[in-house]
Structures are given as structure tokens and as C-alpha cells.
């Protein structure tokens, strides 16, 4: 069965510092990986997906199949990045049900 | 194991039927949610209950009715199922009020309406 692990429940950085939210997964097939974000008092929303290879709000994430990781990175954190971040995986084929990690709270201090 | 568990994992049914999806959490959380996952992996909140009280009720058809017999359970009942209801539905819970504390997700229920 697939599993998603976010080892840090809380990550605290200063504004302008680089940030990396870790996500590791276990899955035997070809997964699709996603990052979701929930800002305070807002709805959960999709941030980015690995197949799009996009940068959203300065965040990027690269799928590393060798290390089975999909870490979320941003070179210079902003205070408005403070939120809960969830990594998720879905099967690459018709299964496509999401499996979520436990979430990491990012706090960006001024 | 402490977790959010939802049943069934897969549900295949015909149009017009009435079905329920059950969700239970043993985390001691006060707030529970139902989300719908669409084909593009967007998660849309449908309902949220806090201590058995409905606090979020998004624009979903009246055919969808949540029921919370106690704060550890939030079931989703769907009447007169339609083809468009086919989706993956996620239950979740959190310790505090909505959008303020980490969400713990169930494993999802794939509903297929034929």
C-alpha cells in the first residue's frame, strides 16, 4: 500500500531564508505527487503537482524516484507562506485516489 | 491505531439508488469534514461539523445529507444518485475549528455510479 510521510510537523524559518518541506513516499508503481496548502482560515487548495513541473508562488518540487521524495522548496520564504502543507500521492493509473501525508506547519517569522 | 477510517473504500451503485458512506475518527477531534476530489485532484469541501453541529455547508445538492450522531462520526448520505456524483470522497478531522489545525484524512471512498 502507498504511504506518504512528512517527517516534520512544524518548520519555523525566518523571512528570506530558504525553506524545504520534506515529503517521502512509498509506492511500487509510478505515482503522481501533489502539494496542497491551507492558509489560516482558508480552504484547502492544490498548490502544485509534479507532472506540471510548474512553480507556484515561488515554490517548486521535484520528484526524486531514487530517493522516493517530493520535497517542496522555496529559496526565500515570505511571511504569507505560513500555512499547513500536505503532500499527497495518487496512483499513476486509473486508481487515482489520493493518500495524504500528516502535514507540516510552516511558520515564517519576520 | 488512531486514525480516521471511512467505509466502504469502493462503492459501485446504479443511478437512483440511495447510499451512505461512513466515517469515524478516534483521535478525539472536535471537527470533521467531507471533501470531494474531482478528476483534476482538486479537493472541494462539502460539509464540516464541529461537535455535532453543522458549521460549513457548501453549495452541494440537497441529495447530499451529512449526519453526525456524535462528534466521532460523520456519515454522508446520498439520495437518488446521479452519474455526476461519481468521485472520490474524503473524510477528515481536526482538533480545533475549521481551517485552524492540521487535517487528518481518511483513505477515501471511490463512488462509481453506473
Taking CB atoms and an 8 Å cut-off, how many pairs form between chains A and B? 52
Residues B75-90 have pLDDT tens digits of 999 999 999 999 999 9
Residue A76 carries which DSSP code? Answer: S
The tally of domains found in chain A comes to: 1
Domain extent, residue A98, equals: 3-109
Using CB atoms and an 8 Å cut-off, which of residues 67-106 of chain B contact chain A? 88, 90, 98-100, 102-105
Mean pLDDT of chain B: 89
* Distance separating alpha carbons of residues A39 and B114, to the nearest angstrom: 37
Residues A70-101 have pLDDT tens digits of 999 999 999 999 999 999 988 765 446 788 89
Residues B11-29 have pLDDT tens digits of 999 999 999 999 999 999 9
Classify residue A29 by burial, with Cβ atoms within 10 Å: 0-12, 13-18, 19+. exposed
Q: How close, in Å, is residue B102 to chain A by CA atoms?
A: 7
Residues B28 and B64 sit within 8 Å (Cβ to Cβ): no
Residues A42-76 have pLDDT tens digits of 778 889 988 777 888 999 998 998 999 999 999 99
Is residue B59 within 8 angstroms of chain A, CB to CB? no
Asked whether the bond before B8 is cis by omega within 30 degrees of 0, the reply is yes
Is residue A25 within 8 angstroms of chain B, CB to CB? no
Instruction: Find all residues with CB under 8 Å of A65, minimum gap 6, and list them.
Output: none
Three cell numbers, residue A46: 492544490
* Distance separating alpha carbons of residues A83 and A87, to the nearest angstrom: 13
CATH number of domain containing A63: 2.60.40.10
Residues A89 and A96 sit within 8 Å (Cβ to Cβ): no
Instruction: Find all residues with CB under 8 Å of A53, minimum gap 6, and list them.
Output: none
* Distance separating alpha carbons of residues A74 and A18, to the nearest angstrom: 6
Residues B89 and B22 sit within 8 Å (Cβ to Cβ): no
* Distance separating alpha carbons of residues A99 and A90, to the nearest angstrom: 6
pLDDT at B10: 93
Amino acid at each position: 500500500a502507498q504511504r506518504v510521510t512528512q517527517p516534520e510537523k512544524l518548520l519555523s524559518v525566518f523571512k528570506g531564508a530558504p525553506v524545504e518541506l520534506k515529503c517521502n513516499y512509498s509506492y511500487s508503481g509510478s505515482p503522481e505527487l501533489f502539494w496542497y496548502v491551507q492558509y489560516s482560515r482558508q480552504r484547502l487548495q492544490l498548490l502544485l503537482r509534479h507532472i506540471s513541473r510548474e512553480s507556484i508562488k515561488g515554490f517548486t518540487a521535484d520528484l526524486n524516484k531514487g530517493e522516493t521524495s517530493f520535497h517542496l522548496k522555496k529559496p526565500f520564504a515570505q511571511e504569507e507562506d505560513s500555512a499547513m502543507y500536505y503532500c499527497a500521492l495518487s496512483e499513476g493509473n486509473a486508481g487515482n485516489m489520493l493518500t495524504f501525508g500528516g502535514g507540516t506547519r510552516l511558520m515564517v517569522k519576520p | 491505531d488512531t486514525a480516521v477510517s471511512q467505509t466502504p473504500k469502493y462503492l459501485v451503485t446504479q443511478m437512483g439508488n440511495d447510499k451512505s458512506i461512513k466515517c469515524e475518527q478516534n483521535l478525539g477531534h472536535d471537527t470533521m469534514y467531507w471533501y470531494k476530489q474531482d478528476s483534476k485532484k482538486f479537493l472541494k469541501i462539502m460539509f464540516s461539523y464541529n461537535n455535532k453541529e453543522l458549521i460549513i455547508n457548501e453549495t452541494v445538492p440537497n441529495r447530499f445529507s451529512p449526519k453526525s450522531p456524535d462528534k466521532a462520526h460523520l456519515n454522508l448520505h446520498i439520495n437518488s444518485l446521479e452519474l455526476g456524483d461519481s468521485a472520490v470522497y474524503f473524510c477528515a478531522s481536526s482538533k480545533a475549528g475549521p481551517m485552524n489545525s492540521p487535517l487528518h484524512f481518511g483513505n477515501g471512498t471511490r463512488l462509481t455510479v453506473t
